[in-house]
Amino acid sequence: MSRDAVAFHGVSRVYRSAAGSVEALHAADAVFAEGSIAALVGPSGSGKSTLLRILGGIDAADAGSITVAATDVRALAGGALRRYRRETVAYLAQRGAANLVPHLTLREQLGPGGEEIVDAVGLGGRVNGRADELSGGEQARAALAVGLSRQTPVVLLDEPTAELDRGAATLVLDLLRDAAAHGRTVVVATHDPELVAVADATLELSTPAQTAAPDERPRVLGETEIRIDGVSKSYSGTRVVDAATLDVRSGELAVLLGRSGSGKSTLLMVAGGWTPADSGELQTPGTAWESTAYLAQRFGLLPELTVAENVALPFRGSGRDERERVPEMLERLGLGGLEERLPAETSIGQQQRTALARALVVQPKALLADEPTSHQDAGSAARVWDALAAACAEGTACLVATHDEAATRHADRTFRIDSGRIAG
């Protein structure tokens, strides 16, 4: 009979900041058996990451009891707490780079048997590469390999598949199943339904419900706003985009679907005028924000401005005075009540939605959005798609790059990209 590996009751955490107190976690209870995979699910801002950090001995709870591998975590301090972090749990943060020592090679960071895991995540050829030389997707997989190779009885993972395409995500799922089969307990905070599906237990965390009526206005397709015709782009001799051709019309929601490294972000950057194409023709409404707004994977929010000020910033630059759209946009994206918070005082999913709100608030002629739902739970992702649909209804031509197959449900048209080529 399997024993309880992770048990917590009434765990709460309140963060205090200049903007006030935020209850990040409220009375969470759960018991996860040894050798199981447990999924923490819930909308962004519901406390999944906070709970993982508390279990990992990185953050401390305000209240409640926590037992991990028969250790009372709240009673730990000093050397005992460090030993717990070193020997009992392996915690992996959302961002791959935050789990690796940048100046060491992947091999130097692996524990015993780590090279097999590296092979399993498809990085066998990069094992001698320094961590800071790996791409974002590679870092995410490398971090997982390093974390699992430490052979701790409990593994805590925060959104391990958020930045991976389906193929890479499947490799990760296999590894987690294997770890659980070997008696290790895996606790994963995730929005990924496939990961939730393989979990033995699920803890759903929630925030006060925020609902908005879906935008059901009919979309009227107009003139072509974005035309990409035979565009190619190479980096260091490697062709990343190869004769890509597509077009997006006013009021249309187009999805550019491809796995990590397929060239979709590069094509978006070319379309946005961030980097010139090597060849081919490009037509967009222009590079001004009101012509072509852009949602980057790193959101580019100004950390000193509040959420509302970030969203209203395009109006200050253009001199337009339509700030009444700001609360409306915040509400639509589920950011009501966060207006006065600084970005750092919100979750990563909320920051991503803030960046999207900033892009949509000016009703641009075209929107280029790079992975707009990568940090969103299902509910928040629905809000994102709804906001994009509303923008299209107002005449914006939206081109969304994503690896999420589910995005096709919301798209008027889908362009699949693989190795820089658009398939159809």
Partner 1 sequence: MRVLWAKAPLLLRRHPPVLAAVVLTAALAALAAAALPLVRAGVESESLAGQLRSMSPLAAGLEVVVDANRPRGGAARRRAAASFARSVAFLGPPVSSSLGPAVIGGTPAAGTEVVALARTGAVDHVHHIASAGGPGVWIADSTAKVTHLRPGGEIPITIRDFIGRPVVVRLRVAGIYRSLEADRGNPYWANWLQDIRNLGPDPEPPPQFVLMSHATFDRIAPRVYAFVENRYEFPVDPSGLSFADAKRLDRRFSALQASLPVSAAGSRLGCRKDDCRTSSSLSAALQVAASDVAAIAPTVSLLSGIGLAIAFGIGVATGLFLVRRRADETHVLFVRGESPLVFGARTAVEAALPAALGLATGTGAALLALRLLAPAGTVTGETSRGAVLRAAIAVLVAVICVAGGAAAAFPRRSGPPHPRVRLLRRAPWEIVPLGAAIALLLLVVGGYGLAHDQNGATHPRLAVFLVPIVAVLGVAGLAARGARVLIGRRSPARPVFLLAVRRLAAARGLLVAVVVAAATAFGTFAYAATLSSSLGRSAAEKAFVSNGSDVQGIVDPSNTITSPFAFPVALAEVDQSNVSLPDGSRADLVAGDPAALRRALRWGPWPDDPRRLLPRLERGGTPIPAVATPGAPPTDAIVDQGARVPIRVVGHAPVPGSSAGRPAYLVPRAALRTAAARLHFLEPAPLANGLLWAKGDPARIIPLLTASNLAPTYLTTLDHIASDPSVAAAKRSYGYVKVIGAAAAALALVALLLYLQARQRAQLIASALVRRMGIGAAADAAAVALEAAVVVAFAAIVGAAAAVAAARPIVHRVDALPQYAPAPVLTVPWSTLLGGGAAAVAVAALVGGGAVALATRADAAEALRVA
Among 64, 122, 136, 280, contact with partner 1 (rule: CB under 8 A): 136
Please name the amino acid found at residue 417: I
Helices (H), 95-135: 106-109, 114-120
CB of 62 to partner 1, least distance (A): 5
Restricting to residues 232-291, name those near partner 1 by CB under 8 A.
235, 265-266, 269, 274-275, 287-289
Distance CA 181, CA 173 (A): 12
The site string for partner 1 over 294-323 (x = CB under 8 A, - otherwise) reads x-xxxxxxxxxxx--x---xx-xxxx----
Return the bridge partners of 292, or none.
366
Which residue's CB is nearer to partner 1, number 4 or number 309?
A: 309
Q: Using CA atoms in the order 96, 97, 99, 102, what is the torsion angle rounded to 10 degrees? A: 150
Which residue's CB is nearer to partner 1, number 219 or number 365?
A: 365
Size of the site for partner 1 (CB under 8 A): 62
Which residue's CB is nearer to partner 1, number 102 or number 336?
A: 102
CB of 98 to partner 1, least distance (A): 5
Please name the amino acid found at residue 36: S
Distance CA 206, CA 41 (A): 8
Residues 6+ apart with CB under 8 A from 256: 246, 264, 267, 268, 399, 400, 401, 402, 414, 415, 417, 422
The number of beta carbons lying within 10 Å of the beta carbon of residue 278 is 14
Which residue's CB is nearer to partner 1, number 250 or number 310?
A: 310
Restricting to residues 67-106, name those near partner 1 by CB under 8 A.
79, 81-87, 91, 93, 97-104
Distance CA 294, CA 299 (A): 9
Which window, 55-63, 116-124, 208-216, 382-390, contacts partner 1 (CB under 8 A)?
Answer: 55-63
Residue labelled with tokens 């992947």 = 106
Told to check if 161 binds partner 1 by CB under 8 A, we report no
Told to check if 62 binds partner 1 by CB under 8 A, we report yes
What six digits make up the tokens of 274? Answer: 């961030």
Which residue's CB is nearer to partner 1, number 3 or number 316?
A: 316
Which residue's CB is nearer to partner 1, number 3 or number 107?
A: 107
What six digits make up the tokens of 405? Answer: 């197959």
Which residue's CB is nearer to partner 1, number 3 or number 323?
A: 323
Which residue's CB is nearer to partner 1, number 177 or number 316?
A: 316
Residues 6+ apart with CB under 8 A from 276: 270
Residues 6+ apart with CB under 8 A from 149: 110, 111, 112, 113, 114, 117
Which residue's CB is nearer to partner 1, number 79 or number 218?
A: 79
Which residue's CB is nearer to partner 1, number 42 or number 147?
A: 147
Residue labelled with tokens 């994206």 = 333
Restricting to residues 366-395, name those near partner 1 by CB under 8 A.
none
- 30 to 86, 125, 159, 193, 394: CA distances (angstroms): 23, 40, 19, 20, 45
Told to check if 354 binds partner 1 by CB under 8 A, we report no
Residues 6+ apart with CB under 8 A from 258: 165, 264, 401, 403, 416, 417, 418
CB of 1 to partner 1, least distance (A): 30
CB of 265 to partner 1, least distance (A): 7
CB of 396 to partner 1, least distance (A): 16
Of the candidates 341, 365, 207, 349, the one whose C-alpha atom is nearest the C-alpha of residue 286 is 365
CB of 100 to partner 1, least distance (A): 6
The site string for partner 1 over 208-237 (x = CB under 8 A, - otherwise) reads ---------------------------x--
Which residue's CB is nearer to partner 1, number 264 or number 410?
A: 264
CB of 226 to partner 1, least distance (A): 16
Distance CA 216, CA 259 (A): 30
CB of 218 to partner 1, least distance (A): 30
Of the candidates 290, 284, 287, the one whose C-alpha atom is nearest the C-alpha of residue 246 is 284
Rule CB under 8 A: which residues touch partner 1?
13, 56-62, 79, 81-87, 91, 93, 97-104, 108-109, 135-136, 150, 235, 265-266, 269, 274-275, 287-289, 293-294, 296-306, 309, 313-314, 316-319, 340, 342
